[in-house]
Homo-oligomer: A and B are copies of this chain.
Amino acid sequence: MSEYTPLSAVGEFGLIRKIKEKIELRNESTITGIGDDAAVLEPKEKQVVVSSDMLLEGVHFDLTFCPLKHLGYKAVAVNVSDIAAMNAKPTQITVNIAVGARFTVEAVEELYEGIRLACESYKVDLVGGDTTSSAAGLVISVTALGEAAPDQLVYRNGAKLNDLVCVTGDLGAAYMGLQILEREKQAFIANPDMQPELEDKQYIVGRQLRPEARMDVIYDLKERGIKPTSMIDISDGLASELFHICSQSKVGATVFKDNLPADPQMLETAVEFNMDPLTCIMNGGEDYELLFTVPLSAYDELKNHPDITIIGKITEESEGVNLATKTGQVFPLKAQGWSHF
């Protein structure tokens, strides 16, 4: 499209109408979506889980390298990830966005196209929200709702002595992807004619720009009849999330350095940047993988699972949270979360 429409040409109601046109409702529990003072849901005998997260331009994303469609997708995915971490099924989302005057209708539609794709992929219904102007950058605030039978929910506080500690996918890639994007941005600023060098970095860059909530693993575990004893999603880094599980479950944990799942592209890139790959794995944020514990009895079922790695075991609380090496050395871990301030 070569013509762009200023937001003022369609107004708030016109914009809502355009967005609403493309919405499909998929969940039985969605009684009414957008169009009244509030959406109406009927979860029946299910429990409802609610989680909310806000992404701000200049803090959580940089529009220089983050395409709006990916951003819309990511805003939904990171919230669905919280629902996944409760072992619940995501059902509805509300989306509040604030956009500056420089935004066109087409740009907002692109953002909502990403939101729509994520809704399709995770089978959630966009049921409400707010579209307003921003005096500064783009802001996206998403609230996700999900459902589960009460006995299916998994909390952070259920890890038990001798449980296996598991993670999905691989770790540290989203963080290294961000380093690549920052480097290419600096190179572009220095020389706008330069083409970005991303060919051999597509996996890690994709992990940063378009993370997925691991609903696939949630559905897979359910099929296998395995219910985790505790679970959390990895948004702030493995170490920090492991501390949450251990402190809330009143247990300790030992993870084995050699078991930690890493993608070769992440490892190469860490070396390229003179960074310790272990630090990226333990403290790199935004992987949105799941960290969970299962009873020892699940070992045979999970030991060769393509998307799940057993990385350690739950110990007595007094033993603390540790990293063990092949040679038997044990290092206490530090909770080094991702500080926004």
Contacts and interface: CB of A to CB of B under 8 A. Distances in A.
A225 to B, nearest CB: 22
A187 interface: no
Copies of this polypeptide in the complex: 2
Contacts of A8: 339, 341
Contact of A49 (B35, B40, B56): B40
Contacts of A7: 341
B12 A339 contact: yes
A36 B146 CA distance: 14
Given A96-B52, A135-B56, A340-B12, A150 B41 contact: no
Contacts of A54: 96-98, 130, 132, 139, 141
Interface stretch (A80-88, A160-168, A263-271): A80-88
Interface in A29-47: 31-32, 35-45, 47
A332 interface: no
Given A52-B129, A54-B130, A86 B135 contact: no
A38 B50 contact: yes
Contact of A136 (B40, B58, B101, B144): B58
A37 to B, nearest CB: 4
A94 interface: yes
Among A42, A137, A340: residue with most chain B CB under 10 A: A340
A104 to B, nearest CB: 11
A52 B126 CA distance: 12
A8 B341 CA distance: 5
A97 B139 CA distance: 11
A259 interface: no
A112 to B, nearest CB: 15
A145 interface: yes
A51 B39 contact: yes
Contact of A48 (B13, B15, B41, B341): B41
A143 B50 contact: yes
A82 to B, nearest CB: 4
B40 A48 contact: yes
A232 interface: yes
B37 A82 contact: yes
